[in-house]
A = this chain, B = another copy of it.
Amino acid sequence: MFSLCLQPSASLKVQREEIIGSRGYYSTRVARNPNLEKLQTNYLFPEILERELKHVEKYPNAKVISLGIGDTTQPLPEPVALSMSNYARALSTPQGYTGYGLEQGNKLLLGSNVSIAVQDPSFPGYIDSSVIMGQSGDLKNDSGRYGNIKYMKCNLENDFFPDLSKIERTDVIFFCSPNNPTGHAASRQQLQQLVEFAQVNGSIIVYDAAYSAYISDSSPKSIYEIPGSRKVAIEISSFSKTAGFTGVRLGWTVVPKELLYLNGFPVIHDFNRIICTSFNGASNIAQAGGLACLSPEGFKEVMFKVDYYKENARILVETFTSLGFRVYGGSNAPYVWVHFPGSKSWNVFNWILDKTHIITVPGIGFGPAGEGYIRVSAFGHRESILEASKRLITLLCHTN
């Protein structure tokens, strides 16, 4: 048997010793993915967690309330949990057992030579995924922006919907409505503009409808309510923020068969291929839960959970409004977007944490246009929301 590796030749031995010798430690010769070096140092939520831990060290007896990360807190609807429980139980019986199921997922589809646009502010995942895939270009010093990403500013001046006349064409437009973090749900007219903008530019909209169940007014709950959208839009959503599946993990992606690449090839075929290759579908138990969410009984209870969080949001909006702040979101979304004009959002974050032991999210973490805002999550227990409201009123009535 060949034994090069047990007794390496002199030259290879020397080479290896050089690798170790020159630096005092052994590393592989594999270069780090340069895209990863471009990522900004701290991912928003770990940074917030770190500040929370430091705060707890400083105030060991404080009762910290987290209105930061948008993690659900209400138990699952009973019929949904029951359905998953029964499904899991049956997996140990010959009749109930199933192996590989249908597949799904959404990575790697368009490759790295793709230009993207995102709402500013928006959920950091869109940008960070694009950076990792090599689509972003380099980070421009101090601006907090990547060179090849187009930022669609959404702020007070434009009613939190981008001025599309100022946006250059990109291949992909990430668009989240109701938006995380601003809570703004785009109107029908605004989404018609967006679809027409994509049609004119030959762009693909990736429409994130994760919060659509929170819409109270007549704003569309799906991009497909807009005529012509099937030729230009993919829609993604999940059970996370409605049925509380943040831990159970189940979402979906709609890729209309009418959506075509420049060469006429249907996007759905590549999507399917990637899923079959790189993913193998969501857990079958989670899927059983998803089906139960869609049953009449399950759906009703899911909407009770949504109503619970909407009432939380209403309390938070009322609290901040009564204190004289301008507040956005909260009526069509589980997030309240509070304006502190002229302030740095990390300073506001620190000040609120220090004075009230409440965790929020600094708006700047969602993009440069989030500066001066904080995002307050309504996904807490009712008692926490009420307690937070009390603390804020105590703090701010004394301060203002």
Contact = CB atoms under 8 A, between A and B. Distances in A.
Interface of A: 1-6, 8, 12-13, 15-16, 19, 23, 25-36, 39, 43, 45-46, 69, 71-78, 80-82, 84-94, 96-101, 107-114, 125, 128-129, 132-134, 159, 163-165, 169, 171-172, 189, 192-204, 231-232, 244, 246-250, 259-265, 270, 273-274, 276-278, 280-286, 289
B2 A164 contact: yes
Task: Give this chain's copy count.
Answer: 2
19 contacts: A1-B189, A2-B164, A5-B193, A23-B264, A27-B264, A28-B262, A29-B203, A30-B171, A30-B202, A31-B262, A80-B92, A81-B91, A84-B88, A88-B289, A99-B247, A108-B108, A248-B283, A249-B280, A283-B283
Given A81-B88, A88-B88, A193 B3 contact: yes
A8 B91 CA distance: 56
Contacts of A265: 32
Contact of A15 (B111, B192, B200): B200
A135 to B, nearest CB: 11
Given A5-B164, A196-B5, A263 B93 contact: no
B97 A273 contact: no
B73 A99 contact: yes
A278 B35 CA distance: 14
A270 B193 contact: no
Nearest to A42: B273
Given A43-B277, A129-B278, A277-B129, A262 B5 contact: no
A71 B100 contact: yes
Nearest to A111: B33
Contacts of A194: 5
A29 B202 contact: yes
A199 B6 CA distance: 11
B246 A100 contact: yes
Nearest to A101: B247
A277 B125 contact: yes
A219 B204 CA distance: 51
B94 A75 contact: yes
A82 B86 CA distance: 9
A201 B5 CA distance: 11
A260 B25 contact: yes
Contact of A30 (B3, B27, B114, B280): B114
Given A89-B82, A128-B277, A28 B203 contact: yes
A248 B4 contact: no
Contacts of A86: 85
B274 A28 contact: no
Contacts of A96: 75
Nearest to A167: B4
Contacts of A6: 189, 192-193, 196
Contacts of A125: 277-278
Contacts of A5: 164, 192-197, 200
Given A28-B232, A36-B111, 16 more contacts: A25-B264, A26-B231, A27-B263, A28-B259, A33-B108, A33-B109, A33-B270, A71-B99, A71-B100, A74-B97, A80-B92, A87-B88, A108-B108, A249-B282, A285-B285, A285-B286
